[in-house]
Chains A and B, each alone.
Chain A
Amino acid sequence: MNCMQTRELIGPQLDGELDLMASLELKRHVECCLACAQVQERLQAVRSAVTASAPYYQAPEQFGDQIRAALRREIPHAPAPRRPWRTFLRPLAVAAAVLLVAGLALDMALHSYRSSSHTLAREVVAAHVRSLMADHLLDVRSSNQHTVKPWFNGKIDFAPEVRDLADAGFPLEGGRLDYLDGHAVAALVYRHNLHVINCFVWPARDAEPAVASGAQGYTLVRFTDRGLTWCIISDAAPATLEEFTRALHANAATTVPAKTPN
C-alpha cells in the first residue's frame, strides 16, 4: 500500500468503513511512514472536534407539539392502503431475490475455492488438525510470555512476538515447533473458551497482502507484520478470529516502532 492509497483510506478507517484486512495493511503502512501518520493524526483531531463541539440541534418542544397537531389534522385525509395484494407479494419477491443472490454467491465462493490451489491453506489446516489429533499441541506449556518466547531460542532463526491476551479473552497456552511450507515455523497456541487457536509464524519472503479465508470449516487469517508472516487458524467463528487478530495488533501497538518516512 503506497502513501496515496493510504491517505484515501485514512478517513474510511476512522469512520469504521474499512474491513479488517485493509485496516491491517493501513496500520502497517502508517507505523513506518511518518508523513501518513501525521495526516492520520490531523484527521483524527478534526473528527473529534466535530463530534465533541458541533452542536446537535434538537427540535424545540413546542415545535414537536406543532408538528403533532398538524399531523393529527391530516389523519382524516390519510390515504387508505391500496392494493393489499402488493403487500402480500412484496415479501415473497424479496425472499426470492435474496435466495437467488445467496445461491449465486455460494456458487461463486465454491468455484473460487475449487479453482485456486490453496496449497498453503491446506497445509495449515492439516498442521492444525494434526496438532489436536496426535495430542502434540504444546512443546512448552505456559501462559507466561517470558517462558514461551525464550523457549524458541536456538530452535528457529527468528523471534516471534509472544504476548498473553487473557485480558481480551484469549489466554496464551504455550507454543511448539512445527513444519510448514518447507521450513520450521513457530506455533503459538491460544485458547478461546473451548476453541484452540494456532498461530503459525515464519519469516516473510515478501510483504503479502492480508487475507482471510475458510477451509474445511476452519477460518484462516494471514498477514505480514514486521517481516514475519502470521497464519492464524481456528474452528472459532470468523468474528472471533477477527477479534483475536485485533487484540494481537492492539497489543503489538504498545511497543513503539521506529518511524521512517516512506
Chain B
Amino acid sequence: MLVHLDSAYNLARWLLRSEHDAQDVLQEACLRAFRSFDTFRGGDGRCWLLAIVRNACCSWLERNHRDVPVPLTEDELDQLVSEGDDPQGQLIRQADVDQVRTAIDALPAGFREAIVLRDLEGLSYKEISGITGVPIGTVMSRLARGRKRLEERLLPGLLKEA
C-alpha cells in the first residue's frame, strides 16, 4: 500500500491545497485503507487507495470551507526547484512552476482532480471514473472545461514564448 504513498500524497496535496491539511487527511485515510483492506477487490492497488484518499479529502472539504490555497512551505519550495540548475535557470523554472501551479489551484476541485489524475498521475479515463465515481463522459467534460480555463489563463504567456 505504501508504494503508492507518493501518488496519494500528490492527490491530497492538490485537492486540499495545503501541506499541513494534506498530511493530516492522508494519515487518517491510510489508516482507514489499512483497516478496510479486506474490501480490496483485487485489481489496481493505486486506484483503490486513491479512491479512499479522494473521498477523505472530499469530506474534509465539506466540513472545512477554505477558498484560498495555503502558500507553499519553505521545504516544498526547495523540493520543487531542482538543485542542478544555475540560479538564473532556477528563477525561470520557479516562475513557470508558480504560474502553472496557481492556475491549476484556481480551478474548481472537480476540474483540478481530473487534470491531476490524468496529466500528473497518467491514469486513463476509465481509472479516473472509477476513482471519482462519475461516468467517463463527465470525466471527459471536466478535463475539457478545466483545460479550457487553463488555456485562457496560461496561453498568452505560452504564445509569447513560441
Interface residues of A (CB under 8 A from B): 8, 11-12, 15, 17, 42-43, 45-47, 49-60, 63-64, 66-68, 70-71, 74, 77-79, 81-82
Contact = CB atoms under 8 A, between A and B. Distances in A.
Contacts of B125: 12, 15, 17
A56 B140 CA distance: 22
Contact of A46 (B38, B120, B147): B147
Given A42-B151, A46-B158, 16 more contacts: A46-B155, A50-B115, A52-B96, A54-B101, A56-B6, A58-B6, A59-B6, A59-B8, A59-B26, A60-B75, A64-B2, A64-B5, A66-B27, A67-B2, A67-B5, A70-B27
B2 A53 contact: no
B130 to A, nearest CB: 15
B141 to A, nearest CB: 9
B9 A59 contact: yes
B34 A47 contact: no
A50 B6 contact: no
B57 interface: no
Given A11-B147, A71-B30, A81 B5 contact: no
A45 B34 CA distance: 40
Contacts of B90: none
A59 B158 contact: no
Majority secondary structure, A binding face: helix
A74 B1 CA distance: 14
B30 A79 contact: no
A74 B2 CA distance: 14
Contacts, number: 111
A57 B97 contact: no
Contacts of A50: 100, 104, 115, 119-120, 150
Given A43-B151, A71-B31, A81 B38 contact: yes
A57 B9 contact: yes
Contacts of A46: 147, 150-151, 154-155, 158
A57 to B, nearest CB: 4
A245 to B, nearest CB: 22
B143 to A, nearest CB: 6
Contact of A59 (B5, B150, B154): B5
Contacts of B162: 45
A257 to B, nearest CB: 22
Given A59-B9, A71-B31, A74-B31, A47 B2 contact: no
Interface string B129-162: 0000000000010011001001100110011001
Contacts of A68: 2
Contacts of A63: 9, 23, 26
Given A47-B119, A50-B150, A55-B97, A67 B30 contact: yes
23 contacts: A12-B125, A17-B124, A42-B151, A42-B155, A43-B147, A43-B151, A45-B158, A50-B115, A50-B119, A53-B100, A54-B100, A54-B119, A55-B97, A58-B6, A58-B10, A59-B5, A59-B9, A66-B27, A71-B2, A71-B34, A78-B34, A78-B37, A81-B38
